[in-house]
Amino acid sequence: MENSEIYKRLTAESKLPSPSKVATEVIRLCYSESSSLQDIANVVETDPALSAKFLKYANSALMGTMVPITSIQRAAVRIGIRGMASMALSFSFLSQQNKCECREFNYHRYWSKSLAHAIAARALAQKSKNLDPDELFTCALLSHIGELALATAFPEEYVEILARSLGTKEMLEEEQRIFEIHHHNLSAEMFTDWGLPKLFGQAVRIHESYVADEEENEELAELAEILHLSLQIANICVLDLPLSISFDAVEKLAENYGIAAKEFGAFFEQIVLTWQEWGYLFQIPTQQCPLYHQLKTLDANSIEAQVRSRPETEILLLAVDDDPLTLLNLTRILGSESRQIITAENGKQALQIALEKRPEMVITDWRMPQMDGLELCMALRQETTTQHTYIIMLTGAEADDELVQAFDAGADDYVVKPFTPKVLEARIRGGERLIRYQRKINRDREVIQKYAVRLGVANRKLHTMTDALTGLPNRRNAMARLKDVVAESSRYGEKLSCIMIDVDHFKNINDTHGHDNGDLVLKEVAQIFSKNARSYDMVSRMGGEEFLVISTRSDREESLQLAERLRAAVEKHVMELGGGTVAQVTISAGVASWRDEYANGGELIKAADDALYRAKKNGRNRVETAW
């Protein structure tokens, strides 16, 4: 039976993972030639949650946005049509984090690794001139969606496969034997059903075991190689070791994208940081990852034993008692999947272990040789690394004075011996609840500090990219934006135009009315431009009395109409200067549209500048086109 027929049968019989209706409509519009960015933005705005995610993404460090974006229309312009389709699909799935019924399927690990895969693929695509980073993000994020689909459709049967811990090849063969389709082919069929490019599905089928030079289609080969390399990087992020290829092989593949072996460590660290930030944004569990150079020097067993982070839900607990039988009993009572238990036989040993391991909870007996429980409490509270440790004191006395003494020493709670397991467990759960609250507070504080630093950097960068007089983007900002839109226009054939504008006889205004009034004229002209430009036009001041408008998705005629509208708006506006003086100001403009023969954005601006020169030569207060 064909894969497509099997997929149709599965969709009819099971509830497979699928994008939201809004995301599906966004994808349809994005790949429709008759749709506009406004149409796409209107659909996105019907889903407040999706709108919020697009705004966060458009303003994120990944997009390198200089000017804050506050509307979906502007976000759509910044992200682009293909990016809107890809990210709508990604955001839709990242928001649907409901656990499937397959008990052996590690749902959180699946999404954690998928997110790392997507972040790495996007970073590599930015190094490539041929592939769209947002499309690679989505392709990688959902490249293994077939696994989730099989676990959802066949929870009981899939448990048996997962329990056997099969290798990649054996897993695919077993899926094919039992379900008549393996997860790579199922992922490809789902991509096709969602309207994604055919090339994506082809790459998903082959990427995991891809070998260079095996594929003749160059575009497919590059896509599959990026998916393959980014999957290896994701495996390193989640410490899924050993890799199917060596660290040296990973670095060798990365060289194809301009990442030298000595620079790969820094590249990897940035991916880990972005992965953790996005994990926080979408509430997907991530983990601390050792530095890349440390990972290279440790074998898989050492990494598992020494540096794998405890699961987010696990609490490290130190039990202290000089009686071996009591200690053994404590270990048995405290045993739980959510706890890691370590022990010490006296207070002195416990202090040494606590300073090294940093447990979040200590359960200690009061009376012990060398250092008793009270002394241990006081010592822990004096150390910066252990002063917030939750401490439960085990005591054989209930006298008020002794309990006060225990709390004064730093104990958070106490349990009277002999104790019942039920009472001890209840006290521990209360402490664990506080520990988890503290964890969340610490995480939130770290995120706030991180974003405060980033906001400070962004504000400083914004000042360097904004014209101080008019508040418009400056020349540096405009040239960076032009580079981006030229790349998009060249890649996808999108329409692009620019308008060069000059305030007529501005020197005479300065000479006649003074420089202060000249500045006032420039500010009012800038306000007129901003008011009359469209949401997706970028108006910037290039210097002096010269302005530039970058018009995406606009051809020659559309930009000519815009330029004429701006000219007319300035002409009819009466400038009120200081001292009750008024001035009649006009502008000249030159329009140019992107042509295939242009090598870069500089040639587009030169064409518009030449047209501006003709407008001034032909009498000013007029608009001319480049051709």
Band of the pLDDT at 305, cuts 50, 70, 90? very low
What CATH superfamily is the domain 475-625?
Answer: Reverse transcriptase/Diguanylate cyclase domain (3.30.70.270)
- Which of 127-131, 211-215, 457-461, 497-501 is the least confident region? 211-215
Please give the single-letter amino acid code of residue 483. K
Scanning 194-323, the segments in alpha helix (DSSP H) are 198-206, 218-237, 247-254, 261-281, 292-297, 300-306
Give the strand pairing for 496-503 and 587-593. Answer: antiparallel
Q: Categorize the per-residue pLDDT at 307 as very low, low, confident or very high, splitting at 50, 70 and 90.
A: very low
Give span(s): CATH 1.10.3210.10, the chain. 3-17+96-305
pLDDT over 50 at 221, yes or no: yes
pLDDT in tens, 562-602: 999 999 999 999 888 877 788 899 999 999 999 988 989 99
Q: Rounded to whole angstroms, how far apart are CA atoms 280 and 274? A: 10
Mean pLDDT in residue range 484-492: 80
Angle between helices 155-163 and 145-153 (to 10 degrees): 120
Architecture of domain 3-17+96-305: Orthogonal Bundle (1.10)
Dihedral of CA 28/33/35/41: which sign?
positive
Instruction: Pick the range with the lowest mean pLDDT from 231-245, 264-278, 293-307.
Output: 293-307
Length of the chain: 627
Give residue 484's pLDDT: 83
Q: Go through 232-248 and write b for each residue having 16 or more CB atoms within 10 A of its CB, e for each that does not.
A: bbbbbbbbbbeeeeebe
Q: What is the pLDDT of residues 48-60, one digit of tens each?
A: 888 888 888 887 7
Q: Residue 467 class from Cβ within 10 Å (0-12 exposed, 13-18 middle, 19+ buried)? A: buried
Active-site amino acid positions: 545
pLDDT at 562: 95
Task: Give the pLDDT of residue 140.
Answer: 93
pLDDT of residue 308: 45
SS3 420: coil
DSSP H/E element including 589? strand 587-593
Query: Residue 235, CB half-sphere, CA atoms under 13 Å: how many?
Result: 17
Q: In this predicted structure, which of 98-102, 328-332, 406-410 has the lowest mean pLDDT?
A: 98-102
Contact partners, residue 43, CB within 8 Å, separation at least 6: 22, 25, 26, 29
Round to whole Å and give the CA distance between 336 and 527: 65
Of the pLDDT bands very low, low, confident and very high (cuts 50, 70, 90), residue 370 is: confident
What pLDDT does 285 receive? 80
CA-nearest of 294, 256, 237 to 115 is 237
H or E element, residue 116? helix 107-127
Closest among 589, 594, 595 to 614, alpha carbons compared: 589
> Considering just the CA atoms, what is the radius of gyration of the chain in Å?
32
Q: What's the burial of 452, exposed, middle or buried (CB within 10 Å: 0-12/13-18/19+)? A: exposed
Give the model's pLDDT for residue 524: 95
Q: How confident is the model at residue 454 (pLDDT cuts 50, 70, 90)?
A: low
CA-based nearest residue to 307, from 297, 295, 292, 317: 295
Chain segment 133-163, per-residue pLDDT in tens: 888 999 999 999 999 888 888 888 888 888 8
Specify which of 101-105, 244-248, 314-318 reaches the highest per-range mean pLDDT.
Answer: 314-318
Which DSSP category does 316 fall into? Answer: E
pLDDT in tens, 47-105: 888 888 888 888 776 666 556 677 788 788 778 777 888 888 888 887 765 555 677 78
**Mean pLDDT over the full length of the chain:** 85
Nearest to 411 by CA among 368, 363, 448, 445: 363
Q: What is the pLDDT of residue 273?
A: 84
- Break the chain down into helix, strand, coil percent, rounded to 5: 60, 10, 30
Mean pLDDT of 536-560: 92
What's the fold here for domain 315-438?
Rossmann fold (3.40.50)
Burial of 426 (C-beta count, 10 Å sphere; 0-12/13-18/19+): exposed
Domain with CATH 3.30.70.270 in the chain: 475-625
d(CA 121, CA 143): 11
Model pLDDT for residues 1-30, shown as the tens digit of each residue? 677 788 788 777 767 788 888 888 888 888
Angle at 377 between CA 373 and CA 378, to 5 degrees: 120
Report the relative pairing of strands 537-543 and 623-625 from DSSP bridges: unpaired
Q: What is the pLDDT of residues 184-208, one digit of tens each?
A: 999 999 998 888 888 999 999 999 8
How far the first Cα of the chain sits from its last, in Å, is 58
Q: Read off the tokens for 96.
A: 């649907």
Question: Which range (195-209, 226-240, 275-289) has the least confidence?
Answer: 275-289
The span from the CA of 447 to the CA of 462, in Å, is 21
* Residues carrying CATH 3.40.50.2300, the chain: 315-438
Q: How far apart are CA 515 and CA 621, in angstroms?
A: 22
* Model pLDDT, residue 310: 47
